[in-house]
Structure 1
Amino acid sequence: MDQTAAFQISVLASGSSGNSLYIESEKKKILVDAGLSGKKITSLLQEIGKTPEELDAIFVTHEHRDHIHGVGVLARKYKLDIYANEKTWQAMDPLIGIVPTEQKCHFEMGKVLTFGDIDIESFGVSHDAAAPQFYRFHKANRSFVILTDTGYCSDYLRGLLKGADAYLMESNHDLEMLRMGAYPWNLKQRILGDYGHLSNEDGALVAADVLTDQTKRIYLGHLSRENNMKELAHLTMEGILREQGFAVGQAFEIYDTDPNQASELFSI
């Protein structure tokens, strides 16, 4: 690892079919969510030159399958600690199989946990899960934010997340593709509601409120297979940020993510 960097990060997978992110500091190696099979996550880690044996823990955001599918398998096989809040544990426990009690760690919403050389800040989001929470990772005056799986982002939350070095920001759906698509009306309403997912436009407007001169990277995450395209998400984010006066491609870069291929490791 680059000794001048606070973190190295890879978005292993992001999308409606499964989500997982790898983050490494000098002392710790972490997964945030494991929403694919243990075998697939092992393969994605190999793409960036890492192995599950190196991991220290899994931090879970919420109990939906596309975030926890491989959590139990990986925890059992590699004796990994799992961190989640109490309500998420209650919802997740029956879904991931037996995990030894000593590997079940509680990390409540709105708290900061010091994990080795990383301070991890948890914050609640607006999503239809038991108690969904995401994370901001802090080290050496640098930070990285994960914000997906939310239908609404309050002014308070925008203030809390302002000025990170890099973001994984939700760009779940294109509004017209969703409205004209084959999903049943009740599912469309769920996605469009305050407890659903941010559209390309909504994600871009959140980004416009949280970016500062500190920010160098935005990754577009949790794209719907049926109701979005990478090109649309990217063009919407870039277009809205340019309209707001941001120097896209100069001050910072926008990056795509993939549901089946790990992004290259990057340092902040």
Structure 2
Amino acid sequence: MKLNFKKLGSGKPFVILHGLFGSADNWFSIARELEKTYTLYLVDQRNHGDSPHSDQWNYQVMVEDLKELLDDEGLEKVFLMGHSMGGKTVMNFACTYPERVEKLIVADIAPRYYPVHHETILEGLNSIQLKEIKSRKEADDQLAKYIPDLGTRQFLLKSLARNADGFVWKVNLPVITANIEEVGQELADWAKYLGPTLFLGGGNSKYIQQKDIEDIASHFPNYNLEFVPNAGHWLHAEQPEAVIEEVRNFLK
């Protein structure tokens, strides 16, 4: 699949993948601070952003999507970073094609299995009657019945677009809803990447825990684990300067 991406900056190639319900734009402010040193590729994964929709949606196909992008761009070896779902994609990619990854950064996710925990979000998104709403405020009012946090709603509604027929979702909501268990899948037992790897967790997040360290070390023996203080799961939005500093220090 030909993925949509934004390219900016100059220098060694650095590819960044967003998380579930996100898009390439989520990392734009981070990329603007790094573009003087690296050529940034901000990628929309399949069924997200402006990339194509497909009934197939799992880490195997997302790994092959990423390989196709690298091949098309003539990128033999890259710095690679992914957040949450994107972190699972880049972990799987690095273990499948280790020769294509110079250094790996995994933002606030571990290799283990995660139970489904997006039920309320999916219920809220699916409750919005796109053919009936006439404004984004109407969509927000409907979503607020399920998700009281304004910041979370604003993030989710970035995927609500408008065309000639009215409102549409950029995310492939039916496929994501039907296959949501795929997001939490653990890495295969055989999966291993020996290159330098940074796991970057949010200090206030529970996505990476002490119990995950043994599992991280078994798949990524050349790892470093750092936590960003005063940051939750969306560490790049909550503490961008700290994330940029950690990334720069690791890639130097």
The TM-score with structure 1 as length reference comes to 0.38
Larger helix percent: 2
**Normalising by the residue count of structure 2, what TM-score does the alignment of the two structures yield?**
0.40
Structure with a larger share of its residues in strand: 1
